[in-house]
Amino acid sequence: MGGDIVALSGVRFVWPGRRRFALAVDDFAVPRGQRLLLTGPSGVGKSTLLSLLAGVVSPEAGEIRLIGTDIARLSARARDRFRAEHVGVIFQMFNLLPYGTVLDNVLLPLSFAPARRARTEQAGGAREEAGRLLRALGLEEALFDGVQAASLSVGQQQRVAAARALIGAPEIVLADEPTSALDAARQSAFLDLLFAQASAAGATLIMVSHDERLAPRFDRVANLADVARAVEAAP
């Protein structure tokens, strides 16, 4: 299927507590199935843009269309439901449940996403699909159950976070600096696994990173300065 799966138009967002400055996105689109890397130094708004795409925050003006739905017009509760069903997020700090097991963490999104859960049932069951993803992402099966996420290494937590984002085949996967704690060799290995699983699910991947060395691995690279601009906000 072709076409743009993400399209922003006339978006304006003001950071709370920073009323003099705002982030503006005039026109930005991502085709279905693309692997996009957004680059730029820390503090310029990359994570803010991902938060807008995920519906975690809402713009003061403009359209944010995901899969044809303008999430900027949805209530906060409706945005949460939409994100649960259609968007997988790999957070920079992973945001795992520290005392939950690996499987607890991977299965968590399905509690809020009936359509994603139904897709796992069609694939043989939620636990089976979680296990398949974890194995494909290189996590040892002995860690799946009975091991708390807090006891895992950074690399292991990263794989759990990726499996959680991918389970149930969401159409869009957003990744916020997921390789920042890894050396170059482990970055490359993780991206191989992430790309393979996103491709198998037919997901569009949007990743932000300050590390421009990752650029050759992606279909498209855009600097945040070419996507968004800082403007003076009304007092």
Three-class DSSP category at 29? strand
Instruction: Tally the domains of the chain.
Output: 1
Note the pLDDT tens digit of each residue in 87-144: 999 988 899 999 999 999 999 999 999 999 999 999 899 999 999 999 999 999 999 9
Three-class DSSP category at 148? strand
Residue 235 belongs to some domain of the structure: no
Residue 173, pLDDT score: 97
| Cβ neighbours for 181, distance < 8 A, ≥ 6 positions apart | 154, 158
**Residue 177 belongs to a domain with what CATH number?**
3.40.50.300
235 residues of the chain, pLDDT tens digit each: 458 999 999 999 987 766 666 889 999 999 999 999 999 887 778 888 999 999 999 999 999 999 999 999 999 999 999 999 999 999 888 999 999 999 999 999 999 999 999 999 998 999 999 999 999 999 999 999 999 999 999 889 999 999 999 999 999 999 998 888 778 888 888 899 999 999 999 999 999 998 888 999 999 999 998 998 877 666 5
- Residue 30 to residue 147: CA distance in whole angstroms: 38
Residue 62 is inside which H or E element, if any? strand 61-66
- Classify the C-alpha dihedral 218-222-224-228 as positive or negative: negative
Q: Which residue has the tokens 């700090």?
A: 93
Residue 27 belongs to some domain of the structure: no
Q: How big is the CA angle at 94 (ends 92 and 98), to the nearest 5 degrees?
A: 150
Residue 162 belongs to some domain of the structure: yes
Three-class DSSP category at 229? strand
- Residue 86 to residue 188: CA distance in whole angstroms: 26
Residue 115 belongs to some domain of the structure: yes
Please, are residues 182 and 190 in contact by the beta-carbon 8 Å criterion? Answer: yes
* Tokens (6 digits) for 113: 């996403």
* Tokens (6 digits) for 9: 């138009």
Residue 177 belongs to some domain of the structure: yes
State which residues form the domain around 81. Answer: 33-56+75-223
Residue 22 belongs to some domain of the structure: no
Residue 18 belongs to some domain of the structure: no
